Amino acid sequence: MPLGLLKYGLRPRRPPDRFLPPRPELKRAYDTVIIGGGGHGLAAAYYLATEHGITDVAVLDKGYLGGGNTGRNTAIVRANYLTEEGVQFYAESLDLWRGLSNELDFNLQYTERGHLTLAHADSAIRTMRWRAEVNKHFGVDSELIFPDEIARLAPGLDLSSDVRHPVLAALYHPPGATARHDAVVWAYAARAAERGVELHSDTEVTGIQVESGRVTGVETSRGPIQCNRVLQAVAGQSSLVAAMAGFRLPIHTVPLQACVSLPLKPWLDPIVVSGSLHVYIWQSARGEVVIGGATDPYALYANRSTLEFAEGTLLPVLELFPFLANVKMLRQWAGMCDMTPDFSPVMGVTPVENLYIDAGWGTWGFKATPVCGKRMAELIATGRTPDLLEPFRLSRFAEFEQVGEKGAASVGH
Amino acid sequence: MKIMPCPLNGPRNIQEFTCGGEVVMPPDPDRADAAAWADHLFLHDNAAGIVREWWYHVPTSFWFIADRDTVTDEIVRTFHPRELFGVDERSDQP
């Protein structure tokens, strides 16, 4: 907007623009209440407003917007899944990601850098080939590559054969990307608020009112709200919120930890994942090396960091990139993940009418932010479950129709 | 290092153990329908607070029960399963 910039420059005084509106008073009633002000909840609010004209929406968060897993993940976006349901779902997300900075008029620093999943055994090569063929069948760019090409893409990676787990091949997924995760929250929040959605941080939901099987409102730390529809999008706390409405979920809450190093000169373009070594690694635009690993070994509602994680994750990183041995770590953190038995999310209707759920996002939720928001908004607005979400319904467990994605989880868990 | 007080081996590094999940009773196999089995297999309370869990000491193949707080990660108490299930005559465990 050069004209706007010019006018701004010629103004005698230049007060800073407030990016998000101040928190309004809580009304007594809304059409739709969204519990959880992370990427998924805010994206759903944005698409409800833009695509379905539903703007009488309150997004409630017990902390600050994006303070949960949206700000704690390692910001990787990919679609190289294993099942046909998963690949189609994440492929739509990739399409949305590509245009998202333009659509939201906010630089999300979406960077397609390529994604390498290393295979250290014949069985892993077989799975990579399987994933590549399923991906290509649904139009997702993936291919099995071998050490000569891996060396070209990931300099510094130890490709020698005299190591514990030699690199034999890799699944190469060129559209694999990273995005600035906080920016995704801010952009969705700002654009939703512009259209009338109310953002209520520091507003904890303490109860869900259900009358004859239908949701009628929520109780919050700032008083009760009546509403027609509720979406819960509270990764890590999903079971506790579902319990308020009287049903149980196929979820265990398990911490996932990650860490970053001090900044280094840029050397690594792609994201490098090793399922066998339980690590993944990429270099941010600031030069920091972002490192993640497997989830903690047991369930916990806490965001604490452990020495076990640092030791168990950084040693395998040195097997892949020995030259990082003298690099100092800058910080370590954790998020609480909804782990499901089939490593797929839970989206759609619940046993309570007009209460919709977006949960079970385990360690794979950030990449699905746009598609999940868009399709959950469609479900809330129309009452019909989109075909893309149907395989991920909560009732799939009772029907013994799980969507097994463990083979495509970034690292073994 | 986090310490797990094992009823058989005493205090040990928690990395020697595997969590076996909450202690829940299976439904009656003669009466349970598919829905009851699905409920038992897949749905969990996933409570935030003190939960009763199975734990396994891998090097000695010993299963026991722990009361653990899933918010503070404090292990409140650990004990032999016979406290809940009585003595198993077939078991060669102490």
Residue A371 maps to which CATH number?
A: 3.50.50.60
Q: Is residue B9 part of a domain?
A: yes
Burial of A372 by CB count in 10 Å (0-12 exposed, 13-18 middle, 19+ buried)?
Answer: buried
Q: Mean pLDDT, chain B, as a whole number?
A: 92
Q: Is residue A349 part of a domain?
A: yes
The DSSP code for A355 is: E
CB contact under 8 A, B38 and A248: no
CB contact under 8 A, B71 and A249: no
- Residue range A172-182: mean pLDDT, rounded: 97
Q: Is residue A156 part of a domain?
A: yes
Residue of A nearest to B75 (CA): A300
Q: How confident is the model at residue A12 (pLDDT cuts 50, 70, 90)?
A: confident
Residue of B nearest to A337 (CA): B46
For residue B88, the model assigns a pLDDT of 65
Pair of tokens at residue A11: 């103004």
Q: Is residue A4 part of a domain?
A: no
A197 lies in the same domain as A148:
no
**At residue A144, does pLDDT exceed 90?**
yes
Which of residues A278, A311, A339 is at a domain's end?
Answer: A339
Q: Is residue B93 part of a domain?
A: no
A159 lies in the same domain as A304:
yes
Q: Smallest Cβ distance to B44: which of A248, A298, A400?
A: A248
Which of residues A287, A320, A339 is at a domain's end?
Answer: A339
A166 lies in the same domain as A267:
yes
Q: Is residue A314 part of a domain?
A: yes
The pLDDT tens digits for A230-255 are: 999 999 999 999 999 999 999 999 99
Q: What is the ipTM of this complex?
A: 0.91
| Whole-number Å distance between alpha carbons of A259 and A173 | 24
| Whole-number Å distance between alpha carbons of A335 and B58 | 27
A171 lies in the same domain as A256:
yes
A57 lies in the same domain as A171:
no
**At residue A357, does pLDDT exceed 80?**
yes
- Residue range A285-290: mean pLDDT, rounded: 96
Q: Flag the least confident range among A200-214, A227-241, A365-379, A395-409.
A: A395-409
Residue A302 maps to which CATH number?
A: 3.30.9.10
Determine the distance in angstroms separating the CA of A66 from the nearest CA of chain B, rounded to an integer. 21
CB contact under 8 A, A243 and B44: no
Q: Is residue B34 part of a domain?
A: no
**At residue A409, does pLDDT exceed 80?**
no
Best A300, A313, A394, A413 residue to mutate vs chain B (most B CBs within 10 Å): A300
A230 lies in the same domain as A346:
yes
Residue B72 maps to which CATH number?
A: 3.30.2270.10
Q: Smallest Cβ distance to A400: which of B14, B38, B46?
A: B38
For residue A379, the model assigns a pLDDT of 98
- Residue range A36-42: mean pLDDT, rounded: 98
Q: Does B87 touch chain A (CB under 8 A)?
A: no
For residue A2, the model assigns a pLDDT of 78
CB contact under 8 A, B43 and A301: no
A318 lies in the same domain as A372:
no
Q: How confident is the model at residue A88 (pLDDT cuts 50, 70, 90)?
A: very high
Based on the structure, what is the number of domains in chain B? 1
Pair of tokens at residue A277: 């070594």
For residue B38, the model assigns a pLDDT of 94
Q: Are A348 and A385 in contact (CB under 8 A)?
A: yes
For residue A32, the model assigns a pLDDT of 98
CB contact under 8 A, A298 and B19: yes
High-pLDDT (> 70) share of chain B, %? 93
**At residue A5, does pLDDT exceed 90?**
no
Q: How confident is the model at residue A309 (pLDDT cuts 50, 70, 90)?
A: very high
Q: Is residue A402 part of a domain?
A: yes
A126 lies in the same domain as A241:
no
By three-state DSSP, how is residue A26 classified? coil
CB contact under 8 A, A243 and B45: yes
Q: Does B39 touch chain A (CB under 8 A)?
A: yes
Q: Is residue B57 part of a domain?
A: yes
A202 lies in the same domain as A332:
no
For residue A7, the model assigns a pLDDT of 86
The pLDDT tens digits for B3-30 are: 999 999 999 999 999 999 999 999 999 9
Domain of residue A392, residue span: 27-73+182-250+342-408
CB contact under 8 A, A308 and B15: yes
Q: Is residue B90 part of a domain?
A: no
Q: How confident is the model at residue A47 (pLDDT cuts 50, 70, 90)?
A: very high
Q: Are A70 and A335 in contact (CB under 8 A)?
A: no
Best A298, A346, A393 residue to mutate vs chain B (most B CBs within 10 Å): A298
For residue A14, the model assigns a pLDDT of 81
Q: Is residue B39 part of a domain?
A: no
Q: How confident is the model at residue A16 (pLDDT cuts 50, 70, 90)?
A: confident
- Residue range A302-331: mean pLDDT, rounded: 94
Beta bridge partners of B63: B56
- Residue range A341-349: mean pLDDT, rounded: 96
CB contact under 8 A, A398 and B35: yes
**At residue A140, does pLDDT exceed 90?**
yes
Determine the distance in angstroms separating the CA of B85 from the nearest CA of chain A, rounded to an integer. 24
Q: Smallest Cβ distance to A301: which of B35, B42, B70?
A: B70
Domain of residue B20, residue span: 3-25+44-85
**At residue B94, does pLDDT exceed 60?**
no
CB contact under 8 A, A302 and B38: no
Q: Is residue B10 part of a domain?
A: yes
Provide the strand spans (E) within B1-94: 3-6, 10-13, 17-22, 50-57, 62-69, 75-79
Determine the distance in angstroms separating the CA of A216 from the nearest CA of chain B, rounded to an integer. 24
High-pLDDT (> 90) share of chain A, %? 92
For residue A411, the model assigns a pLDDT of 65
High-pLDDT (> 70) share of chain A, %? 99
A188 lies in the same domain as A203:
yes
Q: How confident is the model at residue A412 (pLDDT cuts 50, 70, 90)?
A: low
A350 lies in the same domain as A213:
yes
Based on the structure, what is the number of domains in chain A? 2
Residue of A nearest to B20 (CA): A298
Which of residues A339, A356, A372 is at a domain's end?
Answer: A339
**At residue A413, does pLDDT exceed 70?**
no
For residue B92, the model assigns a pLDDT of 57
Q: Mean pLDDT, chain A, as a whole number?
A: 95
Amino acid at A272: V
Residue of A nearest to B55 (CA): A298
CB contact under 8 A, A239 and B46: yes
The pLDDT tens digits for A111-131 are: 999 999 999 999 999 999 999
- Residue range B55-79: mean pLDDT, rounded: 97
CB contact under 8 A, B34 and A400: yes
Determine the distance in angstroms separating the CA of A183 from the nearest CA of chain B, rounded to an integer. 30
Q: Is residue B76 part of a domain?
A: yes
pTM of this prediction? 0.93
Q: Is residue A292 part of a domain?
A: yes
Determine the distance in angstroms separating the CA of B69 from the nearest CA of chain A, rounded to an integer. 8
Q: Is residue A8 part of a domain?
A: no
Which one is predicted more confidently, A407 or A355?
A: A355
The 3-state secondary structure of A206-266 reads EEEEEECCEEEEEEECCEEEEEEEEEECCCCCHHHHHHHCCCCECCEEEEEEEEEECCCCC
A166 lies in the same domain as A190:
no
Chain position carrying tokens 């968060």? A61
CB contact under 8 A, A398 and B38: yes
Q: How confident is the model at residue A1 (pLDDT cuts 50, 70, 90)?
A: low
Best A278, A301, A315, A343 residue to mutate vs chain B (most B CBs within 10 Å): A301
Determine the distance in angstroms separating the CA of A318 from the nearest CA of chain B, rounded to an integer. 21
Residues 6+ away with beta carbon under 8 Å from A283: A264, A266, A267, A268, A269, A289, A290
Residue of A nearest to B74 (CA): A300
Residue of A nearest to B16 (CA): A297
Q: Is residue A83 part of a domain?
A: no
